[in-house]
């Protein structure tokens, strides 16, 4: 098990370095002067030269790459061009919104999807099953930004229960900040939950048809006991896979949802940084997002090993 973890950890590091290298090459090495991109074609040559020096573009590429990587370790990522604050500070501030938002969304989505999937599987080919499948179909079809607008219309404008957007900040107390995150989290979570519920349903149905469930029943376990003790853990393997994949979609969805709800999160930051050509910020956030996705995959791999003993001794 320890060996398995170490091997996965090594894969994680290699993937991270590869991802950062790709980002670096695309942004800084390929033809196209970052300084010109940032300042525009009308910029004065002296200003361009000054920016190049500030960005360190006068130094060779490998040296810049290593300095940049070291920055992730020390936390010194330089100054943002547009915000004039350290990038690491900027990212930390925004992460304090996007992190809880993504976490709330995945928790909410799982909390909705797993019971629904279980419910549908237990009522296979009956009304409850059809209802969950219909909900799943709807969730696949509805884009989350539209669903977000709908939530605002109902819960903010008509009912006035929750704020329509913006973020009061954590320093104003946890209550108001949480309230501001409820609608965005729901908007992110529901479409995901719809997909996850369908996956959970079919994973549970597949596991229920396995021979070992018949063995469990022949032992005298009730249908329900066989479901809890023998079906669920086996069904969790495909469910965890999809949850891992969904996390990447969640990050992409956060960019859109944060714009819909005017949340100053990481997604909104990367959106603004791209439109303002703040390449330093873009580069760092892209690597951060890639790192998050790679890390989630690592966690999913570990979960596989926890769930299924056959994968613990797996040699790759």
Partner 1 sequence: MTLLAVEGLTISLPTPGGPLRVVRDASFALERRQTLGIVGESGSGKSMTALAIIGLLPAGATAAGRVMLDGEDLLMASEERLCALRGNRIAMIFQEPMTSLNPVHRVGDQVAEGLILHRGLDRAAALAEAARLLDRVGIAQAGARLRAYPHELSGGQRQRVMIALALACRPDLLIADEPTSALDVTVQAQIIELLRGLIDDFGMALLLISHDLAVVGEIADRVMVMYAGAVAEEGPTAALYAVRAHPYTQGLFGALPDRLARKGRRLAAIPGTVPLANELPPGCPFHGRCPKAAPICRETPPPWASHAADHRARCYFPGAAR
- Site of interaction with partner 1 (CB under 8 A): 210-212, 214-223, 229-230, 233-234, 307-310
Query: Which CB, 105 or 200, lies closer to partner 1?
Result: 200
The pair of structure tokens assigned to 162 is 């929750």
Query: Which CB, 198 or 230, lies closer to partner 1?
Result: 230
Q: CB of 1: closest distance to partner 1 in angstroms?
A: 13
Query: Which CB, 231 or 255, lies closer to partner 1?
Result: 231
Residues 236 and 215: their CA atoms lie apart, in Å, by 20
Q: CB of 116: closest distance to partner 1 in angstroms?
A: 21
Query: Which CB, 35 or 121, lies closer to partner 1?
Result: 121
Q: CB of 121: closest distance to partner 1 in angstroms?
A: 13
Query: Which CB, 179 or 229, lies closer to partner 1?
Result: 229
Which residues, at least 6 apart from 136, have a Cβ–Cβ distance to it below 8 Å? Answer: 194, 195, 197, 198, 201
Q: CB of 211: closest distance to partner 1 in angstroms?
A: 4
Q: CB of 221: closest distance to partner 1 in angstroms?
A: 7
Query: Which CB, 207 or 296, lies closer to partner 1?
Result: 207
Query: Which CB, 150 or 225, lies closer to partner 1?
Result: 225
Residues 128 and 99: their CA atoms lie apart, in Å, by 34
Q: CB of 238: closest distance to partner 1 in angstroms?
A: 13
Q: CB of 220: closest distance to partner 1 in angstroms?
A: 4
Q: CB of 126: closest distance to partner 1 in angstroms?
A: 11
Query: Which CB, 42 or 211, lies closer to partner 1?
Result: 211
Which residues, at least 6 apart from 96, have a Cβ–Cβ distance to it below 8 Å? Answer: 170
Query: Which CB, 261 or 304, lies closer to partner 1?
Result: 304
Residue 229 Cα distances to 182, 203, 222, 232, 234, angstroms: 34, 15, 10, 7, 9
Q: CB of 229: closest distance to partner 1 in angstroms?
A: 8
Q: Packing angle between helix 232-260 and helix 266-275, nearest 10 degrees?
A: 50
Which residues, at least 6 apart from 6, have a Cβ–Cβ distance to it below 8 Å? Answer: none
């Amino acid at each position: 098990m320890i060996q398995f973890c170490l091997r996965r950890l090594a894969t994680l590091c290699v993937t991270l370095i590869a991802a950062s290298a790709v980002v670096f090459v695309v942004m800084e090495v390929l033809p196209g002067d970052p300084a010109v991109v940032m300042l525009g074609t009308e910029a004065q040559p002296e200003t361009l030269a000054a920016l190049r020096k500030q960005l360190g573009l006068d130094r060779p590429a490998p040296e810049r790459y290593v300095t940049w990587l070291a920055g992730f370790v020390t936390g010194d990522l330089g100054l943002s061009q547009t915000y004039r604050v350290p990038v690491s500070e900027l990212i930390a501030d925004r992460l304090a919104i996007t992190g809880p938002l993504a976490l709330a969304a995945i928790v909410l989505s799982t909390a909705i999807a797993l019971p629904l999937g279980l419910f549908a599987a237990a009522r296979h080919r009956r009304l409850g099953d059809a209802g969950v499948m219909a909900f799943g179909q709807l969730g696949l079809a509805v884009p989350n930004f539209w669903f977000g607008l709908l939530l605002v219309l109902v819960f903010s404008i008509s009912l006035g229960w929750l704020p329509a957007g913006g973020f009061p900040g954590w320093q104003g107390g946890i209550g108001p900040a949480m309230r501001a995150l409820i609608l965005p989290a729901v908007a992110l979570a529901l479409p995901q939950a719809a997909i996850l519920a369908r996956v959970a349903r079919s994973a549970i149905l597949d596991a229920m048809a396995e021979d070992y469930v018949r063995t469990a029943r022949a032992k005298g376990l009730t249908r329900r006991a066989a479901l809890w003790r023998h079906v669920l853990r086996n069904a969790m393997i495909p469910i965890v896979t999809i949850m891992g994949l969904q996390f990447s979609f969640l990050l992409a969805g956060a960019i859109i949802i944060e714009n819909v709800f005017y949340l100053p999160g990481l997604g909104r930051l990367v959106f603004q940084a791209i439109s303002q050509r703040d390449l330093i910020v873009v580069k760092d956030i892209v690597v951060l997002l890639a790192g998050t996705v790679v890390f989630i995959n690592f966690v999913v791999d570990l979960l596989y090993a926890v769930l299924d003993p056959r994968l613990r001794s797996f040699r790759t």
